[in-house]
Each structure stands twice: as C-alpha cells, then as structure tokens.
Amino acid sequence: MATFGCRTGEVPSLQLNDDGTASCLTIKTKLSLPEERTCFAYPGEWIERWYLHNVDIPGGVRWLTPQSWDAKRSENWVAAWRQ
C-alpha cells in the first residue's frame, strides 16, 4: 500500500507493470463501478527489495476488472485491515 499509494480497498486489484508502475481499480463510487488508475512506486527500489512483483493477496480476494469487483468482499477486506 505504501509503495504504490493504494487505499486498502484498491489492493486486491493491484497489478504491477514492467516499468515500475502499477494499475489498480479505484474505490467504487455510488452508482458506478470502480475505474482503473495508474499507481506510481515510492520509491522504486522497494519493488525489488521486498519482492513486490510477487503480489499475493490473502483469502483469494482478487478482482482485476470492474465487472469482477465484489462490494461485499471489498467491504470485508477493508474491515479486516482496520481490525
């Protein structure tokens, strides 16, 4: 989250690109699906230092397109992080 400036609810959609950036789906807004946005690494050295190219999301919570986004699973994911 710190490396790519993601919000908790965006992490399950994180996809790393070869250029050191990443893509994720924004937080869903009322009456619309999430949209894709580009995330920039801060700093880029963290990607290799902590093997961030091997994204592993626990619990099988993963969505890569707005259509695969699940409101209930997202809500549960964020609640688990807050606890």
Which pTM was predicted? 0.68
**CA–CA gap between residue 31 and residue 74 (Å, rounded):** 16
Q: What is the pLDDT of residues 3-24, one digit of tens each?
A: 778 888 888 888 888 787 889 9
pLDDT higher than threshold 80 for residue 57: no
40: helix, coil or strand?
strand
Nearest CA-CA partner of 60 in 31, 40, 80:
80
